[in-house]
Copies of this chain bind each other. A is one copy, B any other.
Amino acid sequence: MKKPRVLNKRIDDDLLMKKRRAELDKWPTGKEVDFDEAVAYQKSLPDSKVWWKVMVKLQEEGRMSVFPRAGTPVLEQMIELCQGLRESGVVLIPVTTDSYTRLGQFEKVEAALKESTRTGKPLLNGFPIINHGVKNTRKLIESVDAAFSPRGAGGDIAIAAGMTTFEGCMPFITWGSYAKRTTMRELVAKWQELSGTVGWYADRGVILCTDLHGWLPGAPFPLSVNIATLVIEALTAAAQGQKALYPLVHCMGNMAQDMAWIRLAPRIIREYLDMFGYKDCRIVGACPAQTPLFPVAMDMGGAFAYLSYVAMVGALAKTNAVDLRTIDEGAGVPTKETHKVSYRAAKWIFDVVREQKIEIQIKDIEIEEKITEAEVRSILDRILDLGDGDIVDGTIKAVEAGVLDSPWSPNINVKDKVLGVRDARGACRYLEFGNLPIPGHIKEFHREKIAEREKLEGKKADYHTAVRDLWGLSRGKIVGLPPYDK
């Protein structure tokens, strides 16, 4: 096998600049972007607005911040919302863009934005960065002392406006969770075309950070596929010149697994970055995430407990950020008040628990970490085989072969031959392995664990078990005991 590498003809600056201009010309506000001015503005930002520096500061000082989602179309309302977040101790503020913006339908946005601003009632499910343009977006950023990150869209306008993250990686989430027909090859092409920006800024001394989602597990599903794709995302980002990144670690509700994954993800990403020669790309933390599961709409108590659980796991794992949803996650886009009260709860746990610097050990963490690590390694080995050392080429083939696979994807190019269910203690196990290259003895382990649950429930686990498990954590019951009265 050839030496490990990332297939990546990073396109030259002239071509890149042309593409970026073309991209910007799609909407009038694009003219507001002057690349050199943008670089200068970025360099003038205080550390408290520079994402990667904030992450490092939190980590070094042993603090945490919530990593929320926040997006409402009307500028004044968005400013208020973000100031509220800051008051609740949030120093990392992602700006969720609306779905039309994500799909480049700017006329539609413009109409809805006008209407929203007129009536004061939001008609868009996020903050349309492009339509607001550099000037308005800077107003937002300059009105809150925190670091900002564009979510889903925004690109050069967001950076010019002073946001300090940019996705240099080949993002599995857009392909695996947001797209219907896009093929892996198309994703690769798109990534190579558009991600150069991060390197362009890096060359000019502006380090843009990114979080890695990996292939979002849309349901209770072992995290090995996701972590393998986190590694791929990290490598592709580094190849584009990204110098700062950190993984989101999707918590599924089993404490031993969640904490094992929080340990494993950054460790194995570091290992592969080094192996591939990207020693100068730093990992600035790890961020347990409440996605992709979800509190149910009408259960406020449960929603608070759920977010407290994830906050607690983050605090015990000594992370520097936690991706949390509000108590209204199940109900709809949350209000300013909901954000505040939700993240106040998280802050209480951060301040009380995180700062105790608790040295925790859980017997099962070691086991879960070993299991997942072995799975991740054999998946990545197979991918490098398929690509004859090239991780990107290998990934394309791996997806086609179902060596990378995940359930419930909207994308028709996904094999969708795998399925996960919880075991008797709520840990996620593979019910169907599809073509995942999972070592035999580990498959056995999954089967035994599922058997324990089948015994407990007195029936075989199947598709319907998996469907029921979709809501398990949300409803506050991940297998375990039968009802008290029974």
Contacts and interface: CB of A to CB of B under 8 A. Distances in A.
Contacts of A312: 308-309, 312
B301 A348 contact: yes
B358 A364 contact: yes
Given A344-B302, A476-B347, A477-B351, A363 B359 contact: yes
A362 interface: yes
Contact of A300 (B91, B309, B341): B341
A53 interface: no
B360 A302 contact: no
A256, A305, A355 — which one has the most chain B CB atoms within 10 A of its CB? A305
Contact of A302 (B63, B348, B357, B473): B348
Contact of A481 (B61, B305, B311, B344): B61
Tallying the copies of this chain within the complex gives: 2
A362 B364 contact: no
A254 interface: yes
A325 B91 CA distance: 31
A476 B52 CA distance: 27
A412 interface: no
A268 interface: no
A341 B303 CA distance: 10
A478 B473 CA distance: 30
A401 interface: no
A305 B356 contact: no
A473 B352 CA distance: 7
Top 3 closest pairs, chain A to chain B, by CB: A355-B480, A301-B344, A305-B348
11 contacts: A91-B484, A254-B356, A306-B348, A348-B476, A352-B473, A355-B478, A355-B479, A356-B425, A358-B362, A358-B364, A360-B360
